Amino acid sequence: MRRLARAATSVVAVVAVLMVAACSDGQVERSDNANQAGYIAGDGTIGIYEPSEREPAPEFGGELLDGGEFSLAEAAGDVVVLNIWGSWCPPCRKEAPDLQAVYETVAGDGVQFVGVNIRDNSKRAATAFEDEFGITYPSVYDPKADALLAFRDTVPPSAIPSTLVIDREGRIAARILGGIGEASLRDIVTEIAAEGPAESS
């Protein structure tokens, strides 16, 4: 069950420091499209944190694209996968089918997927993206990234896409800067989901 965590020991040692200082020169690199699209593409760094090293996720929530509201606090007890995306972002388009595939696989295991749509000036562009890729999980509509500022110490605000995995205790268990494929994301999420609730002290 700890296979991924053991494999990621060296990554954890490096990335844990970035929980405090999220955006260092070596953490992200500009893509060819960055100047035009106005984003910094993550370098694919994956950080998986041992339970003893996890920090509580901040308060986060907002209006959903299809109406209603999302609150991370109300998802306590579930694993929550937060994916930060924009319809204009090529890596987001590439990973979207993989995210949906993992969601369909783990949705019955107490796992919620929630997108965070940023920098889209209209809901129409965002919903068209969801329709194109068959995305069925909800997304918070955060065009100015105001709500996302809650994670400013964890995710560089311009690193799009990025994904956070919040454990059942409401702690940040994993962070991916950049796109991720189906197999890697599924392994990370299923391992964290299998942990169950933390033992009471």
pLDDT in tens, 11-38: 333 333 233 233 322 333 323 333 224 4
Q: pLDDT for 98-149, tens place per residue? A: 999 999 999 999 999 999 999 998 999 999 999 999 999 999 999 998 998 9
Residue 201 located in a structural domain: no
Residue 36 located in a structural domain: yes
Q: What's the predicted TM-score (pTM) here?
A: 0.78
Instruction: Provide CB contacts within 8 A for 19, sequence distance 6+.
Output: 49, 55, 153, 154, 172
The residues with which 63 forms a beta bridge, in sequence order, are: 69
Residue 83 located in a structural domain: yes
We report the CATH number of the domain holding residue 74 as 3.40.30.10
Q: Which is more confidently placed, 156 or 201? A: 156
Residue 200 located in a structural domain: no
Residue 114 located in a structural domain: yes
Give the total number of structural domains in the chain: 1
HEC string for the chain: CCHHHHHCHHHHHHHHHHCCCCCCCCCECCCCCHHHHCCECECCCEEECCHHHCCECCCCEEEECCCCEEEHHHHCCCEEEEEEECCCCHHHHHHHHHHHHHHHHHHHHCEEEEEEEECCCCHHHHHHHHHHHCCCCCEEEECCCCHHHHHCCCCCCCECCEEEEECCCCEEEEEEECCCCHHHHHHHHHHHHHCCCCCCC
Q: Which domain holds residue 167?
A: 3-194
Residue 199 located in a structural domain: no
